[in-house]
Structure 1
């Protein structure tokens, strides 16, 4: 498959797994999220003391609700209409918007923080999204990305498309989405190319294994000290 076909397959998979994903998140079925990564992303956002937050690729909306409960003004975007319907049913600010539309400037509001929580799975489209970030976060805002830790993917350490897996998830999940793996140096080069500067690198630890459960990048517009 070419890059576009892979990107399309990601969205197709999420359309097919709306109910399974919503049940897994709301039923606390994903142990790494319950024990480490959910709290890690909330803490990373709160540490930057934003007043307004945009969750890009918000899914069923748990992060927007968590941040709203902490007194922040939070909104979520996702291309999957049924996920946005699930999110909206529990209250909050949500909108159907594709990454292509976001990259083209269809989100008109500046915010203090854009969060991408395990939601940057593609290749070229991720670069398009990140190039749009400086205009959204301005000179004083931040972009915070949580992703898989590149040292623990169990495959050759080189950029490339990988086949997804629902291993460890319920049998309700179908057609796992592919995802594009980047080395740490590749991520950093991409950020620089997109006008973003790394402010902080966080490696949340799994207390059971002592290994990093994820990797969190805290970014600002290039040139910010």
Structure 2
């Protein structure tokens, strides 16, 4: 019998099905210091700076960002591919829809927003390229896409500073995660090239700093359809 090794791209979503409950517990418990001190506020501020009328949170997880925006009077909707996360999000209140990045890319969402957000949600390689190429179809004229992700210089660790698949072992996340999670590492230059290749123009890049270490806790890209 021949066994096929599953590609990391296919394992990304599978790992999140396994880790959904632990992730929701971690986020709602405030167990990730960088999120609590820096990155949650950073993404909310980046969104609110342009006074959006409508926001679509792509890869919304358990829905915290949609609820945070709603508390400020902003109409927001979240979409995610993991049924358990969407169930958690709906139970806590808000508008959410189940859809994978592949389904989004093929036009399953019949809506438009003036702000699209991917907050620590672009984890794959080909799936992310496909998604980014399709997103202008969900954006109102003059709108923008905001992407927050791990800062490559901080996330690189002791490994070589080059694109490639990595594995998240969930060390220091405050909950027991049943499955390691693959994710695709990109350098800063590769992120910039990715946006250009998929039809986006980089307008602004922010590097939110950790208040204790004064090192970047994340990087935020604000782009518009080229």
TM range (shorter): over 0.9
Runs of 4+ in 1 over 3 A off after TM superposition: none
- Deviations along 1:119-151, one digit per CA (max 9) or x if unpaired, are 000001101010012221143001000001111
Cα pair 1:138 1:221 within 8 Å, conserved: no
**Equivalent residue, structure 2, for 1:185:** 189
Instruction: Output the CA distance in 1 between the equivalents of 2:32 and 2:152.
Output: 20
Distance 2:162 2:6 in 1: 20
Q: How many Å separate the matches in 2 of 1:4 and 1:186?
A: 25
Name 1:136's counterpart in structure 2: 138
2:181 maps to 1:168:
no
Range with greater deviation from structure 2 (41-50 or 170-179): 170-179
Q: Distance in 1 between matches of 2:169 and 2:148?
A: 19
Indicate the residue corresponding to 1:119 in structure 2.
121
Q: 2:160 is matched with which residue: 148, 151, 156?
A: 156
Q: Deviations over 1:133-181 (max 9, x none)?
A: 2221143001000001111221211111112220102352121211111
- Out of 154-163 and 95-104, give the one that drifted further: 154-163
Q: Give the alignment partner of residue 47 of structure 2, picking from 45, 48, 62.
A: 45
Q: Is residue 2:221 matched to residue 1:210?
A: no
- The aligned residue for residue 197 of structure 1 is 201
Q: Let me know the Cα RMSD of the aligned residues.
A: 1.4
The 1:3–1:150 alpha-carbon spacing in structure 2 relative to 1, beyond 3 Å, is: farther
* Structure 2, unpaired ranges of 5+: none
C-alpha separation in 2, matches of 1:171 and 1:39: 22
Count of residues in Structure 1 that have an aligned counterpart in Structure 2: 221
Structure having the larger proportion of residues in strand: 2
Deviation of 1:190 (Å): 1.1
Question: Matched residues in 2 for 1:146 and 1:181: separation?
Answer: 14
Structure 1 gaps of 5+ residues are none
